[in-house]
Amino acid sequence: MTIEVTASNGNAVEISTDTIEALNMSLRGDVVTQGSPGYDEARTIWNAMHDRQPGLVIRALGASDIQTAVNFARDNGLLISIRSGGHQIAGHAVRDGVLMLDLSNMKSVYVDPNSRRARVEPGATLGDVDKETQVHGLAVPVGINSTTGIAGLTLGGGFGWITRKYGMTIDNLISADVVLADGSMIRASADENSDLFWAIRGGGGNFGVISSFEFMLHPVGPEVTAGLIVHPLEAAADLLPHYERIANTAPDELTVWVVMRKAPPLPFLPPEWHGRDVLIFAACLCEETEEGRKSLTELQALGEPIVDVMGPNPFVGWEAAFDPLLTPGARNYWKSHDLISLPVNATDLIIEAVRNTPSPDCEIFLAHLGGAMSQVEAGTTAYPQRNSHFIMNVHTRWHSPDDDDICRTWARTLFDDVSPFSAGTAYVNFVPDDEPERMADVYGTNYEKLIQAKNTYDPKNLFRINHNIAPQV
């Protein structure tokens, strides 16, 4: 008996059950195939748009399992996909017919509070990391959904509520252990394999499989001032210029982002506002300072909000505050731009799009980045956009496949309309799977250097099921 697995040339390769059994015996983890217990759990990822059936799944428990999986894929000429948290919008974690390496069981997080460092395995989620670090009143800048995987977030750059104060996730990466396409494992850091260290800080999973991350930690929490200020969408045109001014002048400890959507049935919102168009200011003051409190008070004084629920919150809780709006199982499609500023012509388009969302779960998100992130010299990491800027994410979310076309068309239309105002770069973790031609623009002047790193570390493009940077050897 044999199992068909997709080869790198697109053809099917027959793998015998004896070979699979031998592979299984060599692992600390295990191998699962269609119909086996654990197979559906391994292949099911956050975005329901990507319901796929890998030919073979290796569920790793350690670095040696990663090496075994990479060697097996290379020696048998197989396509390999890598799953860590399985939260990426593009769904690259899983592909029909391929060998999938599942890292989601490698979830260890070790914190050394004395050196303020953490060692994190690639299957850990942001929630796993936050819970371990916050026991010591420490944190690493991560994202805004606790179920996101730390590996994909980091490899794409990583930004969140304390990025303005302490930099991006990659700015706090000290080292990483990387399994290369030849099966060897090396350490990447500022002092060891520095070209690889540069590339993995923003260049995605193009260069190898990370078996362990080492992060720098910072004193944060365990309580911060954070919350939401909700306004009618009708006030958005008047409020957004004031928001931009406050965002650009606020001290680094204050982060304020914008969400525009139909109001979800949140318990603190009056019932008559449920389902109506709103603008939400989401703010986090990660350190109590006079300047930070002054800017936050200025934000709270804008307009006539429906509700203002700003106040003390556990940092772990605030990091997971948006989880209820991002639960798994829905269909999701994102389009994203970097905007250096928020010109009226662009915000008018955004506001009008919010009034015409094709699903009540759709939203448009504007994140302001600056502060410590923008103090890193351009070109220091593969992540390209170091100017203070706004990330616009058109987050289209719905439940029925019948609505696929109308929802994706809505997102693509707004993306195209706002393109003249964009910087050209983009946050790669927000890029969907239908923009392969965009990678050169996304990485800007860093793209050629990324190709050089790909030539060095994966010249045969074993790691290609990603936002691929193809080698040019």
Q: What is the pLDDT of residues 82-94, one digit of tens each?
A: 999 999 999 999 9
Lookup: tokens for 82? 């890598």
Lookup: tokens for 119? 């060692």
Same domain, yes or no, for 268 and 362? Answer: yes
Nearest CA-CA partner of 138 in 130, 150, 147:
130
For 213-231, what is the mean pLDDT? 97
The residue type of 458 is D
Q: What is the pLDDT of residue 231?
A: 98
For the stretch 138-154, pLDDT in tens is 999 999 999 999 999 99
Same domain, yes or no, for 196 and 248? Answer: no
* Position 1 confidence tier, pLDDT thresholds 50, 70, 90: confident
For the stretch 303-340, pLDDT in tens is 999 999 999 999 999 999 999 999 999 999 999 999 99
The secondary structure of 414-453 as a DSSP string is: HHHHHGGGS-S---GGG--TT-GGGHHHHHGGGHHHHHHH
Of 473 and 108, the one with more pLDDT: 108
Q: What is the pLDDT of residue 242?
A: 98
For 41-47, what is the mean pLDDT? 96
Alpha-carbon distance 79 to 5, whole Å? 8
Same domain, yes or no, for 202 and 228? Answer: no
Residue 463 lies in a domain: no
Instruction: Evaluate if pTM is beyond 0.85.
Output: yes
Of 41, 68, 102, the last residue of a domain is 102
Residue 30 lies in a domain: yes
Dihedral sign computed on CA atoms, order 181, 13, 37, 153 = positive
Phi, psi of 291 (to 5 degrees): -65, -40
Of 74, 102, 130, the last residue of a domain is 102
Of 76, 102, 128, the last residue of a domain is 102
Same domain, yes or no, for 62 and 128? Answer: no
Q: What is the pLDDT of residue 38?
A: 94
Alpha-carbon distance 371 to 285, whole Å? 13
Instruction: Name residue, tokens 């989401």.
Output: 282
Same domain, yes or no, for 189 and 233? Answer: no
Same domain, yes or no, for 129 and 172? Answer: yes
Q: What is the pLDDT of residue 168?
A: 98
**Beta strand pairing call for 389-398 and 277-285:** unpaired
Q: Which domain covers residue 186, as residue numbers? A: 109-219+446-457
Question: Largest alpha-carbon pair distance within the chain?
Answer: 71
* Position 116 confidence tier, pLDDT thresholds 50, 70, 90: very high
Same domain, yes or no, for 96 and 117? Answer: no
Q: What angle do CA 26, 28, 29 make, to 5 degrees?
A: 105
Same domain, yes or no, for 398 and 308? Answer: yes
Same domain, yes or no, for 304 and 167? Answer: no
Alpha-carbon distance 470 to 473, whole Å? 9
Same domain, yes or no, for 66 and 208? Answer: no
The secondary structure of 236-286 as a DSSP string is: HHHHHHHHHHHHHHS-TTEEEEEEEEEPP--TTS-GGGTTSEEEEEEEEE-
Residue 326 lies in a domain: yes
Q: CATH number of the domain that 232 lies in?
A: 3.40.462.20
Residues forming a β-bridge with 146: none
Name every residue whose Cβ is closer than 8 Å to that of residue 331 and which is 6 or more positions away in sequence: 47, 48, 49, 397, 398, 399, 400, 401, 403, 404, 407
For 59-66, what is the mean pLDDT? 98
Residue 54 lies in a domain: yes
Q: What is the pLDDT of residue 448?
A: 97
The residue type of 387 is N
Same domain, yes or no, for 297 and 392? Answer: yes
Residue 464 lies in a domain: no
Residue 148 lies in a domain: yes
Q: What is the pLDDT of residue 230?
A: 98
What long-range pairs does 433-441 form, CB within 8 A, spacing at least 24? Answer: 433/50, 433/89, 433/90, 433/91, 433/92, 436/467, 436/468, 439/467, 439/468, 439/469
For the stretch 449-469, pLDDT in tens is 999 999 999 999 999 999 999
Nearest CA-CA partner of 393 in 366, 433, 420:
366
Neighbours of 237 (CB within 10 A): 13
Does residue 473 register a pLDDT over 80? no
Q: CATH number of the domain that 129 lies in?
A: 3.30.465.10
Q: CATH number of the domain that 54 lies in?
A: 3.30.43.10
Does residue 386 register a pLDDT over 80? yes
Number of domains observed in the structure of the chain: 3
Element holding 164 (H helix, E strand): helix 163-166
Q: What is the pLDDT of residue 471?
A: 97
For the stretch 236-260, pLDDT in tens is 999 999 999 999 999 999 999 999 9
Same domain, yes or no, for 165 and 41? Answer: no
- The answer to whether residues 439 and 424 touch, using CB atoms and an 8 Å cutoff, is no
The secondary structure of 180-210 as a DSSP string is: -TTS-EEEEESSSSHHHHHHHTTSTTSS-EE
Phi, psi of 351 (to 5 degrees): -60, -45
Residue 470 lies in a domain: no
* Position 122 confidence tier, pLDDT thresholds 50, 70, 90: very high
Nearest CA-CA partner of 368 in 428, 284, 291:
284
Residue 179 lies in a domain: yes
